[in-house]
């Protein structure tokens, strides 16, 4: 049987076979990537797409802050953008950031430059590429409020520009396809005082620390808020605050957060989330939608019918 690695094009970046991923995600659980690819730059990523077999599945992985990798790992090629995709520049009220730049770093850079509109990003633990994909938001603002355009590597290995109308932003969604890779983006803010913005960020971080289990092995908000409602209130009403399954725990501090207490498997966490969904639906008639992105395959002990 031909190894997947032997079927892939030559790149300037790095391929890693059977790459462990659990330490790359905030839950600290999950299997390995069949192949992990770290492209050298956008041109290297284009060359990869142009040369790879069409039937090889592609998965994108950021800093793993809102991701659950299943115990069986991720088949195909998992792409992780490195430091060459993390550059941030400011010009007037415009900020251009690589897709690998951390949301919080962009917020702090904007504050230092006196550019308003970015402070909410300090409360979102992820990268700019992921934030665009899911129209990330917090504290009353969303990516769509500051987004101007982005550069995307297509499955054909070309670079295309997308503007807001192309992406059709809605609550925690965009029209960006799973096999399209954002490599950089441009945003526009407003002129503000750096001192005021730094204070704004400090208040956001203080509020986040007080209301969320930020120091635990968690994956952020588990479920999207149904329209006009709060997911945590529905979960609380269903009696799941503090509930456990194996090594997985529903946070006492904020019950829309699942926690790996140290011994959880991905199976434990996903099964507990599925139990929450079932009981909330039975009690309220409301179907919660996962916000955490679940990637990969189940192992032989996994959720066969999930």
Query: What are the residue numbers of the active site?
Result: 172, 221, 291
Cα 26 from Cα 246, distance rounded (Å): 18
Angle at 293 (CA atoms; ends 79, 277), nearest 5 degrees: 165
Cβ–Cβ < 8 Å for 276, 248: no
| Sign, CA torsion 201/207/210/214 | negative
- Integer-rounded Cα Rg, in Å, for the chain is 20
3 state SS of 272 = helix
What torsion do the CA atoms of 16, 260, 70, 2 make, to the nearest 10 degrees? 20
Cα angle: 77, vertex 151, 225; to 5 degrees: 75
Determine the distance from the C-alpha atom of residue 192 to the mean position of all C-alpha atoms in its chain, rounded to a whole number.
28
Distances (CA, A) of 156 to 6, 47, 50, 51, 181: 20, 9, 6, 9, 11
Please tell me what DSSP assigns to residue 171.
Answer: T
């Amino acid at each position: 049987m031909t190894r997947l690695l032997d079927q892939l094009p030559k790149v300037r970046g790095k391929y890693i076979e059977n790459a462990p991923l659990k330490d790359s995600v905030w839950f600290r659980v999950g299997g390995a990537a069949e192949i992990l690819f770290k492209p050298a730059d956008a041109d290297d990523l284009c060359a990869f797409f142009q040369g790879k077999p069409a039937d090889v599945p592609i998965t994108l992985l950021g800093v793993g802050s809102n991701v659950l990798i299943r115990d069986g790992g991720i088949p195909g090629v998992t792409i992780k953008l490195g430091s060459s995709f993390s550059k941030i520049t400011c010009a007037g009220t415009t900020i251009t950031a690589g897709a690998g730049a951390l949301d919080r770093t962009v917020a702090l850079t904007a504050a230092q430059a006196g550019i308003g509109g970015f402070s909410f990003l300090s409360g979102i633990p992820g990268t700019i590429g992921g934030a665009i994909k899911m129209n990330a938001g917090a504290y009353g603002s969303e990516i769509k409020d500051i987004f101007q355009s982005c550069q995307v590597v297509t499955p054909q290995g070309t670079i295309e520009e997308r503007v807001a109308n192309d992406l059709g932003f809605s609550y925690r969604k965009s029209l960006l396809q799973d096999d399209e890779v954002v490599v950089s983006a441009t945003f526009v803010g407003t002129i503000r005082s750096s001192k005021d913005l730094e204070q704004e960020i400090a208040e956001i971080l203080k509020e986040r620390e007080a209301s969320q289990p930020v120091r635990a092995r968690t994956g952020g908000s588990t479920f999207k808020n149904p329209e006009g409602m709060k997911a945590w209130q529905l979960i609380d009403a269903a009696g799941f605050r503090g509930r456990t399954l194996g090594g997985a725990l529903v946070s006492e501090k904020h019950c829309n957060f699942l926690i790996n207490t140290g011994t959880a498997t991905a199976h434990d966490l996903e099964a507990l989330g599925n139990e929450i969904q079932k009981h909330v639906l039975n009690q309220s008639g409301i179907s919660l939608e996962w916000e955490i992105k679940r990637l990969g395959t189940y192992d032989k002990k996994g959720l066969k019918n999930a």
